[in-house]
Structure 1
Amino acid sequence: MQVTIDGVTYVSHESPAWRDEKNYMAMVDLAPFDLPGMLEQLWLREVGVEGSYEVCCIPFYAYGLALGDVVEKGESETVNRFVRKSGRRVLRVLFAEPRPLMDSRSALRRAVDSAGLLSEWNGDRHVAIDVPDVAVMQSIFDSVQGEIQNGTAFWEWSDAKEFRSA
């Protein structure tokens, strides 16, 4: 979900992939990723070391982060440092408007479910998919290939850029 308040757009995760009883939240400033005026709210859970947190949602916009990665947050409740990779990746797909007659969103949902993958949707056009093993991704790519070729869907890996804090 996205909400704009006083010129700042806040992106939140309504149903984080790893919802837990003791979750924390922290913001990631998206300006270092060429998205000025946007903040993404990540769900975190504390791990063994004081100040270290595991990412419990699948980032929609923040680069260099994935489900299970460990980060540190500062006193201002912002993620300020990347600590350790989980070994997972995030595939993000954006479906453009207007939607074509052959809309592949349902096919993508089925492929994600069949592959046993976790995903989070931001609205009905933007999905972030947790990828614990790239070997299971062919059916995911196949489900949206037609739209990607036609320019009505776009994809990227979240690790295409390294994490940076503002």
Structure 2
Amino acid sequence: MSIETKDRQTITHDFPVWRERADFILAARLPEADVPKGFKWEQIWAKQVSDGTFEICCIPFVSYGLALGDWVSTKPLEERIYVIHQIVQRSGRRTYRVWFNSALQRSSTIYQVQKLGCLVEERWKNSDLIAIDSPNLSSSLELENILKELEESLDIEWETGS
């Protein structure tokens, strides 16, 4: 596994959903407008599929336009060698993010989402941020209906990331 230097400016993935596939760690540069306070990078777990091409093996927490299973190319940027440059092939999957403003209903929400066939990645154990992978359009439509209901009845916020 190739790992780039970690620093306090990088958002990391403690529990990547396809960890067993991954053999590389890439960096995604966060645009200034999208940066959570003090962060410049997101660590992206990946599998090298050819020289310079990688399959994303985690659900991005803050990087927009990326989804689990997308194939990306890299190029050096700033002090990093393997920085995501462009999407080579889209996976057809969608990324969602949910912030829990309260721990109430967190477990049942995750269970409900997983019943749809979606994958869930926690920022850390019992984090108030989860990333959700929807494998197809049908699941995405069902997921969005559930998230809209939860947003109205619970203390959550959500967005699409891809």
Which category describes the TM-score, using the shorter chain as reference length? Answer: 0.7 to 0.9
C-alpha distance in 2 between matches for 1:133 and 1:29: 27
**Percent of aligned positions that are identical:** 30
Map 1:70-81 → 2, pairs under 5 A: 70-75=71-76, 76-81=81-86
Q: 1:84 to 1:139 in 2, by over 3 A?
A: closer
Q: Give unpaired runs (5+ residues) of structure 1.
A: 160-166
Partner of 1:106, secondary structure, is: helix
Residues 64, 137 of structure 1: alpha-carbon distance in 2 compared, 3 angstrom cutoff: closer
| RMSD, matched Cα | 2.5
Matched-pair contact (CA < 8 Å) for 2:117–2:134: no
Q: Which amino acid aligns with 1:19?
A: R
TM-score, with structure 2 as normaliser: 0.78
- Describe the SS at the equivalent of 1:93: strand
User: How many residues matched?
Assistant: 149
1:37 aligned to 18, 28, 39, which one? 39
1:146, distance to aligned residue in structure 2 (A): 5.1
Distance change (3 Å), C-alpha of 1:146 and 1:22: closer
Aligned counterparts of 1:92 and 1:86: Cα–Cα separation in 2? 18
- Moved segments of 4+, more than 3 Å: 137-147
Q: Distance in 1 between matches of 2:96 and 2:22?
A: 27
Instruction: Tell me, in whole angstroms, the C-alpha distance in 2 between the residues paired with 1:21 and 1:158.
Output: 22
- For CA contacts below 8 A with separation 6 or more, give which structure has more relative contact order: 1
